[in-house]
Structure 1
């Protein structure tokens, strides 16, 4: 009897810790789509390049630039194991039910390796194939312009971005002066920014605001773009457990990281969440997610060829990049916030989770949330359990969600919203 009570309490704890809100009596979970960022990777730039931006040396990663690290693989497996605990408790998964899960990843080493790491713990004992179009190819779900699926107007994209800041990127950038001074002080290790110029160093204040030339639909230059790459490298090295103090860094802790992420988020918001950009880059992805959530909800909702994975898969795990989640967030106008991160920030392994529930009254609804390991959990490789769950925040979907703790979004309304929002 004591073991039975303990099992019940464990299941209840999993439900309350992992979901946006514990399910009401009679509600039944039917389908889950998890859109995740890849796990902890090596910095995209070499240590020598990064050291041009700082007064102190940078840590060395044991893998090539941009590749998933060993710590990143272990942390991704932690998330997979936690999702399994959660959805076994929800009754969505059972032992040996290998056909219940499906996996898809974008074409980079870090996305494919993340999906494989998650599959080993979310689908233990199963022979799992991670779907991907393969390295060196273009996946329309993640890069619709390069795949020729969408014809984008680059001039209109720039105008849409410029229009959000009154056509004055310099004035927009100047509003972030405090953040730039804070990051400058951390990088150049002086009491307060702006720090004195140093020979051979690239400083945040040397970056001029404007549009930059690149293969992306829109690319920015300036302090925010400078900060975006550098702070991501700081985050990845921090989450990888690298010892900055041994390299002479001072003042680098979780609080400092949280504060310097503000410039990164400002750049991401302007560049990727601007409506025209988000619709162009994220519209196809949103339709694929919608089709996946509708699969199995009745023949009238079937969209042949659009669903990700087999129609009968109950959990579909998709791995992309932080930009993938950012454009989808901009498209649906959804926001989230979890402790230790800036609003709408997507840390390594962070995920948007869309669950399809059939309520006790028969209505099918979408319940969405954002989940991520905290900076401490990443740094310390904390084992995820009901007592130490990842961070989680329910997500309200504008023009769809109802005034309820779970922010229920009726499936019919979600279909209408995605169809309208993704129109070009």
Structure 2
């Protein structure tokens, strides 16, 4: 795409999305649940392991593998400040009301640190405790099978995934050949993939598609799964401001990152958004979010009844399974469809319209690749990209895809009972 046209479309998208967030005269925002991925973290693999996949050295992070970086804290705080400005403008938050916000995180360093960073700017001047189940324990909202609250049939899960791939993972993977060769050319730094084999290097093309044993309900291997980990490491280092050019990398820019993430998204969609898998992994979370958005008190709600903004820090898989369960789709400029960048968030808002009807308005939002890399300040005038999310079976033909609350309750219940 021509750079000028791409920029113009992005600006139009931001302005359109920003206007869709605002309430109409006579409407009142009552409750918000923000389900966010953690912020920018260090790669999960060591630089030495990653360098087995590439012709050039990998940048080094200054924190342990998987931990939120200093840049990640900064970027999360920018998102928190943006949410603060938005919800003060809507009258949902007041400067001196510390009890209006509540924070919960999965029990990992990067999720807890993300919630703390967001809290510093979303709840400025408040003493905030980020709730979690405690070190060494398993949170059933994020890992229901491991926590023992959901019993799933692993064979049926594999069959459901295989069925979506036509029963042949090798043929399914072959349909991504162009994207595989594009990533191979980037990693091995040859003009056009496939690049010739190199001693001591692991090539994405050589990964054989299939199921493998793992901690997840379904674990895959093959070029897509290989690419998923490697491209996430590329994205995290890019968003962390790392100097790839100084390490000798050529051809790595925002457009390239967007294109090579097609493989990651293919693997994520197949492994996590398959209905049986999404229901098993996302059911308890969906129940908790629904209970939080309902008007009455409930033991299943996240946080106290008086909290008007509930922030939940999880992982990209957390958002993916919820999206698969409720058949939610989203797209932001510069990302693949349904991609969840660092700090990306599904936002559920409960509004009371002028006609008295309570509705749920869902949004997906997150900083653009450029905003991440440049740590761009976020305001109502310069917001992160956002897109309204249509809730199948519930949303109506309104600009914000209004979903009546009673219908939302029915849709979630139906998804969990199906």
TM range (shorter): over 0.9
Using the alignment, how far apart are the partners of 2:414 and 2:266 within structure 1? 26
Superposition deviation, residue 256 in structure 1: 0.3
Q: Name the CA shift for 1:68/1:210 in 2 (closer, same or farther; >3 Å).
A: same
The one of 392, 395, 406 equivalent to 2:400 is 406
Task: Kindly report the root-mean-square deviation, in angstroms, between the aligned alpha carbons of the 2 structures.
Answer: 1.2
> What SS does the aligned partner of 2:33 have?
strand
> What SS does the aligned partner of 1:422 have?
helix
Superposition deviation, residue 18 in structure 1: 4.5
Using the alignment, how far apart are the partners of 1:186 and 1:323 within structure 2? 26
Deviation sequence 1:62-81 (CA, Å, 0-9, x none): 00000000000000000000
| Mean Cα deviation higher: 21-30 or 276-285 | 21-30
The answer for the alignment partner of 1:336 in structure 2 is 330
Is the contact between residue 17 and residue 388 of structure 2 (CA under 8 Å) also seen in structure 1?
Answer: no
Is the contact between residue 38 and residue 348 of structure 1 (CA under 8 Å) also seen in structure 2?
Answer: yes
Superposition deviation, residue 125 in structure 1: 0.3
1:367 aligns with 2:367: no
Using the alignment, how far apart are the partners of 2:274 and 2:315 within structure 1? 18
Superposition deviation, residue 347 in structure 1: 0.1
The answer for the alignment partner of 2:144 in structure 1 is 144
Using the alignment, how far apart are the partners of 1:220 and 1:15 within structure 2? 39
1:293 aligns with 2:287: no
The answer for the alignment partner of 1:420 in structure 2 is 414
> What SS does the aligned partner of 2:130 have?
coil
> What SS does the aligned partner of 1:146 have?
helix
Using the alignment, how far apart are the partners of 1:135 and 1:325 within structure 2? 22
Using the alignment, how far apart are the partners of 2:16 and 2:102 within structure 1? 25
Using the alignment, how far apart are the partners of 1:342 and 1:23 within structure 2? 28
The answer for the alignment partner of 2:11 in structure 1 is none
Is the contact between residue 279 and residue 423 of structure 1 (CA under 8 Å) also seen in structure 2?
Answer: no
Using the alignment, how far apart are the partners of 1:382 and 1:166 within structure 2? 43
The one of 370, 373, 386 equivalent to 1:376 is 370
Is the contact between residue 154 and residue 217 of structure 1 (CA under 8 Å) also seen in structure 2?
Answer: yes
Superposition deviation, residue 166 in structure 1: 1.2
What are structure 1's unaligned runs of at least 5 residues? 1-13
Compute the TM-score of the two structures, normalised by the length of structure 1. Answer: 0.94
1:302 aligns with 2:317: no
Q: How does 1:105-184 map to 2 (within 5 A)?
A: 105-184=105-184
The answer for the alignment partner of 1:7 in structure 2 is none
The answer for the alignment partner of 2:231 in structure 1 is 231
Q: How does 1:85-104 map to 2 (within 5 A)?
A: 85-104=85-104
Superposition deviation, residue 15 in structure 1: 11
The answer for the alignment partner of 1:393 in structure 2 is 387
The answer for the alignment partner of 2:216 in structure 1 is 216
Deviation sequence 1:318-349 (CA, Å, 0-9, x none): 00000000000000001000001000000000
Superposition deviation, residue 23 in structure 1: 1.5
The answer for the alignment partner of 1:4 in structure 2 is none
1:53 aligns with 2:49: no
